[in-house]
Chains A and B, each alone.
Chain A
Amino acid sequence: MKHSIKLEYYLAALIVITLLNTFLGEKFSSTTLVSILIAMTVTYKGFVVIDHFMELKGANKNLRFLMRLYFIIFPSLIIVSAFY
């Protein structure tokens, strides 16, 4: 039951972050700061899905590492692309 309530909490957090990201993108021209914020929230969203929905937290550490690495590499490229 506790795990189930946590899932609801994480879903709410993911939706709020999605709406916040959209607001940032719509209201502000893509400054470097906005891109960094969006990249960080994408990483956070990825980590939440990997650990709590996919349930890799406490499962195979190599698979978890690879999945989390993916959500470090590509959001990092978002930050790099802000300097184009």
Chain B
Amino acid sequence: MNSHPIKNSLGIFPKSWSEEYAGRIPGNIPIWVGILSELTEFGIFFAAYFIAKFYYPDTFAQGPQSLHTSLGVTNTIVLLSSSYFMAKAMAFIRVDNKIKCERYLWFALSCGVLYLIIKTWEFHWNTLQGFSANTNEFFTVYYYMTFNHFIHVGWASCAILWVIFRLRRGAYSSTEHSGLEALAVYWHMIDLMWILIFPLLYVLR
């Protein structure tokens, strides 16, 4: 493990943070730096939401009623399913079943693409109803959060394609699959952010 270039300690963290003491790091350290950065970014969005809701309670109470709730629910189920497919892909690479691993990666990718299609339709539907980022404070926060999340799903879907390509080239096996696992934890992080976004924008009045 110590010979792994990515997992080598930089000697700047407390010993209690090492894998030896704290436990295995799924994926690799760089992806977790990325994930924690993304969590900070979304954390700022959520803080902006709560501050705006404090100043404009009526706007935020009416906002969710203007949205297409069914599309939001469908996208939530699509993303939860994609996380499940990704977890299954990980389970199959661990037993060296690359065919089933690839199949579940395609399922996860399909969910990602379906999410993007549904979200694009939702943005179009909003436009037809006359809503835009300038409509009111709720819609400013709505577009700020959801479009950013949309971009994350977009590039993570491209990353799934890359991982499928690498899997086909024999880059992953039951003993070495840290690249695949790094994508999996990143994908779950995107799902986690939607788990928070959905009730804030579509459910709570």
User: Is there a chain A Cβ closer than 8 Å to B195's Cβ?
Assistant: yes
Given the known A-B contacts A4-B91, A30-B204, A53-B86, are A38 and B199 also in contact in the complex, defined by CB atoms under 8 Å?
yes
Contact assessment for A19 and B73 in the assembled complex, using a CB-CB cutoff below 8 Å: yes
Contact residues in B for A7 (Cβ distance below 8 Å): 84, 87-88, 91
Contact assessment for B188 and A53 in the assembled complex, using a CB-CB cutoff below 8 Å: yes
Question: Complex formed: what's the CA distance from A19 to B76 in Å?
Answer: 10
Contact assessment for B87 and A50 in the assembled complex, using a CB-CB cutoff below 8 Å: no
Question: Complex formed: what's the CA distance from A48 to B80 in Å?
Answer: 11
B interface, over-half SS: helix
- B interface residues, how many (CB within 8 angstroms): 47
Contact assessment for B73 and A55 in the assembled complex, using a CB-CB cutoff below 8 Å: no
Contact assessment for B26 and A60 in the assembled complex, using a CB-CB cutoff below 8 Å: yes
User: Is there a chain A Cβ closer than 8 Å to B50's Cβ?
Assistant: yes
Contact residues in A for B81 (Cβ distance below 8 Å): 11
Chain A: minimal CB distance from B185 (Å): 6
Question: Complex formed: what's the CA distance from A81 to B23 in Å?
Answer: 36
Chain A interface (Cβ < 8 Å from any Cβ of B): 3-4, 7-8, 10-11, 14-15, 18-19, 21-22, 24-26, 29-30, 35, 38, 42, 45-46, 49-50, 52-56, 58-63, 66-67, 70-71, 74-75, 77-78, 80-81, 84
Q: List 6 A-B contacts (CB under 8 A).
A: A22-B203, A25-B202, A30-B61, A49-B83, A63-B22, A74-B196
